[in-house]
Structure 1
């Protein structure tokens, strides 16, 4: 059995959806105006985004996108910096990793 569905409450569904499409190759399968979106990936993940007036998650809450190599982590980090996101350099922790606050109010970890 594997976890394959996650719902996030976000403050901006469209911005969050575009971010996830651009950097993590998720594809939008369905939207309902600006209040709901269904995204998926080639491995069967279904990620839904629901509009909320605020998105408050515990400080350590995040979702992660595991990459195949450090070079991929570095490339995503570089693209995010070029696009104006406030991201630090990847660091060696439990893997080669960095975190970014995504549009909509949730945190994403990129690692390998």
Structure 2
């Protein structure tokens, strides 16, 4: 992902595994069962080279350093299908997680 790229909040109906390969690293925000979990993907301190996002979780990601890039790959199991993919709007995010901060809301689309 380039410095301006963002993986906006979305859900998929399969587990997704993110693998770090190079760059500044990523912060992945995962909302599930009313709780926020943050993963730091990379090779630095407190970072891990892999993160597993469970099926049905609402999640988004962005580079840790807005001036850098991160080379990642993802795998899903079972196989990915757009039928099981849903983008999450700001309104839906606020409704499901009323305490969502502005830093999280900026990672959701206004409209889909």
TM-score surpassing 0.5? no
Q: Give the number of the structure whose residues are more often helix, by fraction.
A: 1
Higher relative contact order (CA 8 A, sep 6+): 2
Structure with the higher strand share, 1 or 2: 2
TM-score relative to the length of structure 1 = 0.29
